[in-house]
Amino acid sequence: LTPRLRGFGTTVFAEMSALAAEHGAINLGQGFPDSDGPTVVKEAAVAAIRAGHNQYPPGPGIPELRAAIAEHQRRFYGIELDPGSEVLVTTGATEAVAAGILAFTGPGDEVIALEPFYDSYAACVAMSGATLVPLTLRPPHFTADEATLRACVTPRTRLILLNSPHNPTGVVLSPAELRGIAEVAVEHDLIVLADEVYEHLVYDGTHIPISTLPGMRDRTVTVSSAAKTFALTGWKIGWATGPADLVGAVRTAKQYLTFVSGAPFQPAIAAALRLEDGYYTGLRQDLRRRRDILADGLTSVGFEVYRPAGTYFVTADVRPLGFEDGYAFCRRLPEWCGVAAVPNAVFYADPREGRALVRFAFCKRPDVLREAVRRLASMS
């Protein structure tokens, strides 16, 4: 393994999912829903396979999906995009983030990322040869403070890697935080890569794409995907949107990573994005209820819970239960009581940060969440 990738051995999700399987545990570690997305969307993919959408689709994505992505951005945020030049379909948000990092950064560049960060960010920054500079969000409010951001900027800073709603804390950046970030980006002429995969999973407050702030349209590449919004994490259809020059650069990298993305899933996701508003409000209501079951349940068990405003994750502190090390706690939890979680330490450049924090996912059926809480209550 090249030195750049040392330390990125196995993802924590694979490690904890394997432990969950070994002990027959309820897997609240890796975030994936236990119920699939809408039947009409699944049927659309089956129909697309039958209709012969089985060979390489166009590199940037089929026109129908690019049009649907642009329509979705207009419908929810008033963002105008040219589907021909400002929308790129990718193999999940993961590829959009990877291609963005590879397109914009290289050795000598610095990338500022909100920390804790989704684990692929650090690995992709390492692959590009750039350096990751963490902007650490700290409990209890995990705020992205402008003065701290300013202290991270150097003449080498090239990119700010944002994620809101934020995995793993569940924080939704406030208008004031977004304004502060936008001001710094404009002042220092930085590109922003905004990972908004949880855009529709917001329970308190509102998701505001940073690309809609003054001066941001021309410097922001926004990333999202079908995985969370339509509970189809295995389809790996994502997208990058923004100004033609930046999206064109991401496309250059994407061409040599995967070339194209899953043909029969593309018309199906185009149909999904056009689902009526009731789908999106139903998704939010449903997940809000599940958030409440898990957050209240973890509180009753004795964790210190940071109630998330968005995403499908709850971050909790294990210290009130008498533990210090979240990683050790997560390694033993499946065997102890038949529940799996992931340690937040893996989302930090310095694992001592977030050492006592663990993350539970609530994209599971309410009865499964209640059973998980029951099992956790039996731990002590």
How crowded is residue 22: how many other Cβ atoms within 10 Å of its Cβ?
Answer: 11
Query: Does 347 interact with ligand PMP (rule: CB under 6 A)?
Result: no
Name residues whose C-beta falls within 8 Å of residue 39's C-beta, 6 or more positions apart in sequence: none
Query: Does 247 interact with ligand PMP (rule: CB under 6 A)?
Result: no
Cβ 303 vs Cβ 316: under 8 Å? yes
The distance of closest approach from Cβ of residue 347 to ligand GLN in the complex, given in angstroms and rounded to an integer, is 9
Query: Does 172 interact with ligand PMP (rule: CB under 6 A)?
Result: no
d(CA 171, CA 362): 15
Cβ 215 vs Cβ 243: under 8 Å? no
Name residues whose C-beta falls within 8 Å of residue 273's C-beta, 6 or more positions apart in sequence: 65, 68, 69, 71, 72, 226
The distance of closest approach from Cβ of residue 127 to ligand GLN in the complex, given in angstroms and rounded to an integer, is 16
Query: Does 69 interact with ligand PMP (rule: CB under 6 A)?
Result: no
Judged by CB under 6 A, the residue of 192, 197, 342, 372 near ligand PMP is 197
**Which residues lie across from 316 on neighbouring strands?**
305, 358
Count helices and strands (H / E) in the chain.
13, 13
The distance of closest approach from Cβ of residue 128 to ligand GLN in the complex, given in angstroms and rounded to an integer, is 19
Query: Does 203 interact with ligand PMP (rule: CB under 6 A)?
Result: no
**Structure-derived torsion over alpha carbons of residues 291, 292, 298, 300, reported in degrees to the nearest 10:** 180
157 binds, among ligand PMP, ligand GLN, none (CB under 5 to 8 A by kind): none
Judged by CB under 6 A, the residue of 15, 195, 199, 317 near ligand PMP is 195
How crowded is residue 107: how many other Cβ atoms within 10 Å of its Cβ?
Answer: 9
The distance of closest approach from Cβ of residue 15 to ligand GLN in the complex, given in angstroms and rounded to an integer, is 11
Nearer to ligand GLN by C-beta: 111 or 346? Answer: 346
Give the contact letters, 29-48, x = binds to ligand PMP (CB under 6 A), - = no.
--x-----------------
- Token pair, residue 352, equals 């001592």
The distance of closest approach from Cβ of residue 97 to ligand PMP in the complex, given in angstroms and rounded to an integer, is 6
Nearer to ligand PMP by C-beta: 105 or 120? Answer: 120
Terminal Cα distance for the chain, rounded: 42
How crowded is residue 188: how many other Cβ atoms within 10 Å of its Cβ?
Answer: 14
Query: Does 233 interact with ligand PMP (rule: CB under 6 A)?
Result: yes
Judged by CB under 6 A, the residue of 118, 279, 329, 362 near ligand PMP is 118
The distance of closest approach from Cβ of residue 310 to ligand PMP in the complex, given in angstroms and rounded to an integer, is 11
Q: Which CA distances in Å does 13 have to 70, 360, 364?
A: 32, 12, 16
Using CB under 6 A as the criterion, which residues of the chain lie in contact with ligand GLN when the complex forms? Answer: 11, 13, 30-31, 167
Distance of CA 58 to the CA centre of its chain: 26
Query: Does 238 interact with ligand PMP (rule: CB under 6 A)?
Result: yes
Q: CA triplet 201, 206, 210: central angle to 5 degrees?
A: 100
The distance of closest approach from Cβ of residue 225 to ligand PMP in the complex, given in angstroms and rounded to an integer, is 3
Nearer to ligand PMP by C-beta: 28 or 337? Answer: 28
Question: Which one of the spans 45-53, 183-191, 233-241, 337-345 is the region binding ligand PMP (CB under 6 A)?
Answer: 233-241
What is the torsional sign of CA 137, 143, 148, 153?
positive
d(CA 219, CA 318): 40
Query: Does 93 interact with ligand PMP (rule: CB under 6 A)?
Result: yes
Nearer to ligand PMP by C-beta: 119 or 325? Answer: 119
Residues that bind ligand PMP (CB under 6 A): 31, 92-94, 118, 163, 167, 195, 197, 225, 227, 233, 236, 238
